[in-house]
Amino acid sequence: MSEIDRCVLQTIVETANDHFFIVGGDGRVLDISPGAEAVYGVPRDELLSSSVQQLQQAGVLKPSITLEVMRTQRPAQLMQVTGTGRRVIAEAYPVFVNGKLERIISRSRDLTDLQLLQDEYALLQKRFSEHLIRSHATPDADEQALDDALDNLQVRSHVMREIALLLKRVASSDANVLMLGESGVGKTAFAKQLHRWSERRGGPFIEVNCAAIPENLFESEMFGYQPGAFSGAARQGKAGLLEQAEGGTLFLDEIGELPLLMQTKLLKVIQDGSLTRLGDTRPRRVDFRLVVATNQDLGKQVEAGNFRLDLYYRLNVIPVTLPPLRDRREDIPGLVEACLKRLNQRYGRQKILGNQVWSTLMGSEWPGNVRELENWLERAWLSSPTDQIEVLAAHPPAQLSPASVQPMSTPSAANPMMEHETLKQYLARLERDTLEQLSDTLPSTYAIARRLGISQSSVVRRLQRYGLNAPKQQSV
């Protein structure tokens, strides 16, 4: 390495916000960045004359991520509590030369302030739910105002009222919100409500389904590009979705499907409050409120190495879990009435539900939650010959528990080749039907790609070719 390169490297290490440890293949600490002293509470000289084995034994590194990399020979990421009680997130990478582990570079970032914010929020949430319990006997003004404030959303169950009140309270802050829950429970609907309740209601609500963008287009779609950034780029350049959310809310749905590289870039935008378009060098300031949603267990995704822990921490400031409909059946009557009213208006007839239908609806499992209930009602409304809907025999809603998974019935069994059809037409029809069926049952284009053994961008292209929607669970 030339002297210049050495100076460049030194400047990077010394000026980074992160703390670096450079460790030899045997565990000896070779170099550290200046800030590490303060975070780990050990003088620089002492750190430099130790091995990571010794530092772990002395409780300075709890635990040592370098040892983890030495053991597994693979990059690792974990949370540490330092001797001074600071919480840091550490990442470490092995450096192999001719197949031999020569160095381990670890990088840690202090998350204590973020943690304090979360603790503060947890306390707030606790006080808030205590307040709700106290006020349950005599509903306060907030409670009464809730129904007026909710635009079209039905919340009768205690748990949903609590969630709606919480969202209303935090709407005016700029804190990131993480919406969790099965598909169809209302994550998107409540994200929109949050936006309407916020000070940003006059700004845009930009919805991005992370599972529906082909991986190779992600960066240009999200971050935008400068003129001439790549072949085929629009001549005048383009603002990305993040910039389009300026002054409003950016809603990232299916955040668990965000590719790792994009996770790193998104994290940087959150930290810096600015982004750089593809092919540009100048960062631009951005100002949006971030709301994300997923039906995955993000904690598990972090463990599996598919989701960055530090991004997870950033997003998880206000987690809101919407329970499945089967756990809050009190909400069903309100939802059914509102939906029936909408259908009656849309189709200009006054239909009502027979008594038996009501009891079946109340007792069904609804694995697809509110979305499935709405779809079922619309089908029943349309297929009912009289104004009293009684069509359960034809289309019973699922009574199954979600655990009992049905094998996929292949479209080919139900679709014999037609007489006039060519092989090409027949195969295209099968392909279309298969894709349609899978987008009804699988949560994302990535899941469909895995199921079919083709790439995700190929799934997106085929869906577009046949004019099909990406998985229903992702659309509004």
Ligand X SMILES: Nc1ncnc2c1ncn2[C@@H]1O[C@H](COP(=O)(O)OP(=O)(O)O)[C@@H](O)[C@H]1O
Residues interacting with ligand X, by CB under 6 A?
A: 153-155, 181, 183-189, 335, 370-371, 374, 473, 476
Q: Is 316 in the site for Mg ion (CB under 5 A)?
A: no
Least distance in angstroms from the C-beta of 181 to ligand X: 6
Residue 335 interacts with which of ligand X, Mg ion, none, CB < 5 to 8 Å by class = ligand X
Cα gap 184→306, rounded to integer Å: 24
53 within 8 A of 33, measured Cβ to Cβ: no
Nearer to ligand X among residue 64 and residue 444 (C-beta): 444
Cα gap 204→269, rounded to integer Å: 19
Least distance in angstroms from the C-beta of 137 to ligand X: 24
Give the helix ranges, DSSP H, for 260-303. 260-272, 298-303
Least distance in angstroms from the C-beta of 42 to Mg ion: 48
Q: Is 108 in the site for Mg ion (CB under 5 A)?
A: no
Helices 331-347 and 369-383: angle between axes, nearest 10 degrees: 40
- Tell me how crowded residue 431 is: count the other CB atoms within 10 A of its CB: 15
Nearer to ligand X among residue 106 and residue 295 (C-beta): 295
Least distance in angstroms from the C-beta of 189 to Mg ion: 8
* Sequence-distant (≥ 6) Cβ neighbours of residue 473 within 8 angstroms: 183, 184, 295, 368, 371, 443, 444
Least distance in angstroms from the C-beta of 260 to ligand X: 24
Nearer to ligand X among residue 90 and residue 370 (C-beta): 370
Nearer to ligand X among residue 94 and residue 181 (C-beta): 181
Phi, psi of 180 (to 5 degrees): -115, 155
- Strands of 64-139 (E only): list them: 76-81, 87-97, 100-110
Please identify, among the stretches 79-87, 182-190, 219-227, 338-346, the one whose residues bind Mg ion according to the rule CB under 5 A. Answer: 182-190
Least distance in angstroms from the C-beta of 190 to ligand X: 7
Cis peptide before 63 (omega within 30 of 0): yes
Residue 78 vs residues 109, 149, 305, 413: alpha-carbon distances, Å: 11, 42, 11, 49
Nearer to Mg ion among residue 233 and residue 468 (C-beta): 468
> Judging by beta carbons within 10 Å of its beta carbon (0-12, 13-18, 19+), is residue 52 exposed, middle or buried?
buried
Residue 94 interacts with which of Mg ion, ligand X, none, CB < 5 to 8 Å by class = none
Q: Is 439 in the site for Mg ion (CB under 5 A)?
A: no
Nearer to ligand X among residue 400 and residue 476 (C-beta): 476
Least distance in angstroms from the C-beta of 255 to ligand X: 12
Cα gap 437→425, rounded to integer Å: 18
Beta bridge partners of 274: 285
Q: Is 209 in the site for Mg ion (CB under 5 A)?
A: no
Cα gap 149→350, rounded to integer Å: 27
Least distance in angstroms from the C-beta of 474 to ligand X: 7
Number of residues that bind Mg ion (CB under 5 A): 2
Residue 186 interacts with which of ligand X, Mg ion, none, CB < 5 to 8 Å by class = ligand X
Nearer to ligand X among residue 378 and residue 431 (C-beta): 378
Nearer to Mg ion among residue 184 and residue 397 (C-beta): 184
**DSSP SS3 for 329:** coil
Q: Which of 82, 188, 301, 316 binds Mg ion (CB under 5 A)?
A: 188
Write out the residues near Mg ion by the rule CB under 5 A: 187-188
